[in-house]
Amino acid sequence: MAVKILVIHGPNLNLLGEREPEIYGKIRLKDLNRLIKEYAKSKGVKVKFFQSNHEGEIIDRIHRARKKVSGIIINPGALTHYSYALRDAIAGVQIPAVEVHLSDIHNREPFRKISVIKDVCEQRISGLGEESYLRGIDFFAEWESG
């Protein structure tokens, strides 16, 4: 079975390229998705994308992914810091997940250092810009082969 990954972009990621480009970069979401898709294809990984600014929609999408994907790469945006509902959704579906962030969350405001989902994720990658997502693809390509 081919590796199938659901890439979830959380709140405000629809504004990539416009919102604080000095922090999040100049790449737009559609271009980021294209980059991820091309890279994933080169690794034999299939990807689907989802973006929402609404916590419940993200949780519903995670639930629908049960038994349909090999893993989830999620940039939960601000939900990282307080959404126990998102944490429970990831834990509940028992799909391996990788938490990613474009910016270096450890060198920003103190609240950004807190992740309530990190304990239900296999790995956390931040501070590498779009490369954070590509490293998530690498994680699942290696996970499936090893």
Q: Any idea which residues carry the catalytic annotation?
A: 24, 101
Measured CA to CA, the distance from residue 133 to residue 137 in angstroms comes to 6
CA terminus-to-terminus distance, the chain: 14
Q: Going edge to edge, which strands form the sheet with 71-75?
A: 45-51, 3-9, 71-75, 97-101, 123-126
Look up residue 22 and give its two tokens: 């000095």
Angle at alpha carbon of residue 124, lines to 46 and 71, rounded to 5° = 25
List of residues 6+ apart from 130 with CB closer than 8 A: 25, 27, 32, 35, 36, 102
